[in-house]
Amino acid sequence: MTHSSGQLQLFQSTAPSESRPAITIWRPFSALIYAGKKTFECRSWAPRNLAGVRLGIHAAARVASKSDVTAREREAIELALELPQARWGELPGGGILCTVVVSGLYRITEVRAGWALVGDVRPNSRPARRLWIGEEQLFGTFEPGVWIWHFQDRRQVNFTPYSGRQGIWTAQC
């Protein structure tokens, strides 16, 4: 990812799109995934059958507001994207940015020294007892009881406009 006047350079591909599950993620968090800087998504829930599946990452039209992020998160995101919060609205929104494979869905039991210790694991997830989350702790709510979705094999796709939805939904990407 590169910036051009604060914008992400969106990928152009001739590869055909496919119907696949997708999830809407607020900007700038979707941009962090697109840039390969965020490989974990924190959610209060985890679907039973998503591990091992390629998932579309939809950038919401909504931008995280000052009250949605802590000062520490804001600073980390600004550094990672090289873009101040006042300009997050310039990031692409309202469409599919990329796809990822959900390599695992894990419920956190404890977080310490950059590691997430995990308990429940959804079927088809890569086996894990602990996951290195390191600096990504700055991009989410890593705490006991939260589900973390581990993303791998990020692939850029042509930006495909869509209205966002809650939960998992189907998109061409």
Residue 28 domain-assigned?
yes
14 vs 24, higher pLDDT: 24
Range of the domain at 128: 19-160
Residue 168 domain-assigned?
no
Q: Are 66 and 133 in contact (CB under 8 A)?
A: no
130-134: list long-range contacts, CB under 8 Å, 24+ apart: 131/40, 131/104, 131/106, 133/40
Q: Are 42 and 147 in contact (CB under 8 A)?
A: yes
pLDDT in tens, 24-34: 999 999 999 99
Give the DSSP H or E segment for 82: none
Residue 172 domain-assigned?
no
> Which pTM value belongs to this model?
0.88
Residue 3 domain-assigned?
no
pLDDT at 3 over 70: no
pLDDT value at residue 127: 76
pLDDT at 16 over 90: no
Nearest alpha carbon to residue 147 among 124, 114, 115, 121: 121
pLDDT at 138 over 50: yes
Residue 171 domain-assigned?
no
Q: pLDDT-based confidence at 5, cuts 50/70/90?
A: very low
pLDDT in tens, 127-136: 778 999 999 9
**Could you give the number of structural domains in the chain?**
1
Q: Partners of 8 in the beta sheet? A: 3
pLDDT at 9 over 70: no
Residue 87 domain-assigned?
yes
User: What one-letter code names the amino acid at 58?
Assistant: H
pLDDT in tens, 53-110: 999 999 999 999 889 999 999 999 999 999 999 999 999 999 999 999 999 999 999 9
Q: Are 35 and 98 in contact (CB under 8 A)?
A: no
Residue 9 domain-assigned?
no
